[in-house]
Amino acid sequence: MPSLDPTAFIRENLKLVPVPAIPEILLYTAQVGSRLSRIAKEPPYWAYPWSGGAALARYFLDRRETVRARRVLDLGAGSGLVSIAAARAGAAEVTAAEVDPNGIAALRLNADANDVRITIVGDDLTAGAAPDVDLVAVGDLFYERELAQRVTTFLDRCLEAGLEVLVGDPGRKDLPLPRLQLIASYQVPEVGAKRGTAAVVSAVYRYGAERG
């Protein structure tokens, strides 16, 4: 059977809808009957808005000075929700890092749907040096221990390079709480294939050196 074109699949099977709690942004979002198993070998994080990214997006739109005229990296961008919010809030440049080819297709479609320009990088940046940006945004990347450790090591390199790091997360078990300072919290959507749609409290944190 020939492989499916992810861009065509997303257009035909996902619905372009406003994000709950962030109606300024539209995303191609999976619905009942979207048949994601036909295309997604990896978990389709790109097909839903997740709560950590939603909190970061809401924060950027409410506190535009956080990103205005700055270069922003959205690490593990998924649908591109955080990237789109940063661009909408006036970031000078936005880079979205996403390794899933389906996620990259969703990112392009979502950026176009929201009329914003985003540079997409398909590499795993956590293995490399700190990027040439001003702010690193990390939403929903602390759901698994090995990934959390890899991300934390990368964020430490970002701190050493003088970058600001903001984290959005609803409080998952591998969140490095000793490194985080709470700066905002929101009621936002938590959407997933197994959980349906629900409102949860998700927070935005400033990442820094471990507190003694």
Distance separating alpha carbons of residues 48 and 2, to the nearest angstrom: 26
Q: How far is CA 117 from CA 14, 51, 86, 120, in A?
A: 22, 23, 10, 10
Residue 195, pLDDT score: 46
Residue 198, pLDDT score: 66
Phi first, then psi, for residue 23 (nearest 5°) are: -70, -10
Q: Which domains are seen in the chain, by residue range?
A: 6-207 (3.40.50.150)
Rg from Cα positions in the chain:
16
Residue 43, pLDDT score: 72
If DSSP states are collapsed to H, E and C, what string results for 148-203? Answer: HHHHHHHHHHHHHCCCEEEEEECCCCCCCHHHEEEEEEEEEEEEECCCEEEEEEEE
Distance separating alpha carbons of residues 106 and 162, to the nearest angstrom: 31
Residue 33, pLDDT score: 77
Residue 57, pLDDT score: 97
Residue 189, pLDDT score: 75
Write out the chain's pLDDT in tens, 212 residues. 457 899 999 999 999 999 989 999 999 998 887 888 888 777 788 999 999 999 999 999 999 999 999 999 999 999 999 999 999 999 999 999 999 999 999 999 999 999 999 999 999 999 999 999 999 999 999 999 999 999 999 999 999 999 999 999 999 999 999 999 999 999 987 765 344 456 789 999 999 987 65
- pTM score, whole prediction: 0.93
Residue 212, pLDDT score: 56
